[in-house]
Amino acid sequence: MRSQFRPCIDLHNGQVKQIVGGTLHDTDVKQLQTNFVSTQPAEHYARMYKESGLLGGHVIMLGPHNDTSAMSALSTYPDALQVGGGINLSNAQQWIDRGASKVIVTSWLFPDGKFSMDRLDQMEKLVGRAKLVVDLSCRRTNTGNWIVAMNKWQTLTDMQVSKPVLEALAKKCSEFLVHAADVEGLCNGIDEDLVVALAEWSPIPVTYAGGASSIRDLQLVTKLSKGRVDLTIGSALDIFGGTQIKYTDCVEWNRTGCLPTEL
């Protein structure tokens, strides 16, 4: 059993971008640090993932003005991409109908920063457990614990990532998505401790994102998680302007489990 590469399409103001985690603000746009802004539309990447046979990727809408781009990606590769960002009870089924394989929910589950099991129950009843991904993207505190962060990772919630929490939530959803917000977009290495914890604590599939800087990180995540945690790679990929990881190598890893011979 080996960890899989999971692709992504991050949207900001309708464009495909790679953003440094934790710099996206609702009010202070000057703090935004962007690694990459694509000249290609979202459907270009969806088509690429379709041609490569990649499944379980996610389209994340970072703020407003992204619906049209997200819909174009989903229509290009229907029933294969998950969608997240602003998902709530009023629009979740609409995104499924538009071609999302699953909906990813975060901030709506935390009114005023406090987790609502009632809201999770409502969402599960609406779209079904099999179509629901809970995003537990988090930031690490000074005590070494991980706290779920919402509102573009700017607001810490009352939820600590832990084994009891993951076990309880897993009864209501089919996957977790976890961005390590402190290392997201920095390409300086993954949060190895978090990968180990997620593998040990979660009874359902988990996709980790944040800090990947080498094709060997797929091998590392496989070792750390015993293949139970998948890896999303963004800013380091050549298709997003990166220089450290070739997209074709990630596709080959998924197919064969082999790293490039030149390594």
Contact 109, 132 (CB under 8 A): no
Share of the chain above pLDDT 90, in %: 82
**pLDDT digit string, tens, across residues 195-228:** 999 999 999 999 999 999 999 999 999 999 999 9
CA–CA dist 72, 62 (Å, integer)? 16
State pTM to two decimals: 0.93
**Bridge partners (DSSP) listed for residue 18:** 36
Cβ atoms < 10 Å from Cβ of 151: 15
Name all contacts of 216-220 with Cβ < 8 Å and 24+ positions apart.
Answer: 216/259, 216/263, 217/189, 217/190, 218/2, 218/3, 218/5, 218/250, 218/253, 218/259, 219/259, 220/190, 220/192
**pLDDT digit string, tens, across residues 12-62:** 999 998 876 554 545 444 556 777 899 999 999 999 999 999 999 999 998
CA–CA dist 248, 108 (Å, integer)? 36
Give the three-state DSSP class for 236: coil
Q: Which of 59-63, 168-172, 239-243 has the highest mean pLDDT?
A: 168-172
